[in-house]
Chains A and B, each alone.
Chain A
């Protein structure tokens, strides 16, 4: 296999004890990418379960209510905060990816901090209200 000059350069960098950060390695670029994958997988598996539980409306009101009440326990309430946190990160970071692709990649780092900031604001709006609903019933 012929190797490109670019491949050799990056291999040379990896022999360094502390590799310099690149767009995708060791820095905001890499961590946003890692988080995007982890949140994406988590949301996908929740989606599979969520379609199956919602499908119970077709079976009977009793069957649906029995299952949906499992979502209203304190432990699941905390899980829903994590789920919404994953969705909100994936959504905002997805917009960041679109901006990097179609606008300008040189703002990727500052955009990552914008994503974190918007995530914090959104979760401050969601989590207290949701947790009050979960724990006051």
Chain B
């Protein structure tokens, strides 16, 4: 059997162009586009929750429920949820590809990342769109002001 030995220092050649979507390219673009949007969303989130008024010491159910009762903050938080989890999950995938040395550990870690990202996206989206800002039977002093107008 004969085998050909490539000339030393021959340039790296890419395999023939695969058909279909270039997922790595779109992942690369996604990191940059979602990153820019996330800067606006997260800086806004941090400003409203930590800088306005008494910041972190004012956070409680009444504050969060008051925010999540409005479609504006629902959209804001759900966008942040999806963009950040996929951005973070894809970043973690990059680290696993770089640092996990065996095929099996890479597979296990990437499945774990995928499962946590998908389950938290489902959980977070359901919470935002199914939650009640004024749950029946709760003490009024724990509820947002809008509940007393019902």
* A interface list, Cβ under 8 A from B: 2-5, 8, 37, 40-41, 43-44, 47-48, 51-52, 54-55, 57-58, 60-62, 64-65, 68-69, 71-72, 77, 80, 84, 87, 91, 94-95, 97-98, 101, 126, 129-130, 133-134, 136-137
B55/A130 in contact, CB under 8 A: yes
Of A44, A60, A64, A91, the contact of B60 (CB 8 Å cutoff): A64
With both beta carbons as reference points, the residue of chain B lying nearest to A8 in the complex is identified as: B9
B131/A68 in contact, CB under 8 A: no
User: Among the interface residues B43, B130, B139, which one has the most CB atoms of the partner chain A within 10 A?
Assistant: B43
A134/B120 in contact, CB under 8 A: no
Smallest distance from the beta carbon of B130 to chain A beta carbons, Å? 7
With A and B bound together, what is the CA distance between A47 and B39 in angstroms?
15
B127/A57 in contact, CB under 8 A: yes
A48/B120 in contact, CB under 8 A: yes
B10 on the interface (CB 8 Å rule)? yes
Q: When A4-B9, A98-B32 are in contact, do A61 and B138 touch as well, CB less than 8 Å?
A: yes
B11/A57 in contact, CB under 8 A: no
B36 on the interface (CB 8 Å rule)? yes
Secondary structure call for the B interface: helix
Smallest distance from the beta carbon of A18 to chain B beta carbons, Å? 25
Of B36, B51, B91, B127, the contact of A54 (CB 8 Å cutoff): B127
State the interface size on chain B (CB cutoff 8 A): 50
Secondary structure call for the A interface: helix
B65/A57 in contact, CB under 8 A: yes
With A and B bound together, what is the CA distance between A94 and B39 in angstroms?
9
- Please report which residues of chain B, range 21-68, place their CB below 8 angstroms from some CB of chain A when the two chains form the complex: 32, 35-36, 38-39, 42-43, 46, 50-51, 54-62, 64-65, 68
17 further A-B pairs in the complex, CB-CB below 8 A; given A8-B9, A133-B55, A134-B57: A2-B6, A40-B88, A48-B116, A58-B127, A60-B135, A60-B138, A61-B60, A61-B138, A65-B61, A68-B59, A68-B61, A72-B59, A80-B50, A80-B56, A91-B39, A94-B36, A98-B32
A57/B42 in contact, CB under 8 A: no
A-B contact pairs, 28 of them (CB 8 A): A2-B9, A2-B10, A3-B8, A51-B81, A52-B123, A54-B124, A55-B123, A55-B127, A61-B60, A61-B61, A61-B65, A62-B142, A65-B61, A71-B56, A77-B56, A84-B50, A87-B46, A94-B36, A95-B35, A95-B36, A97-B32, A129-B55, A130-B55, A130-B56, A133-B56, A133-B58, A136-B57, A137-B54
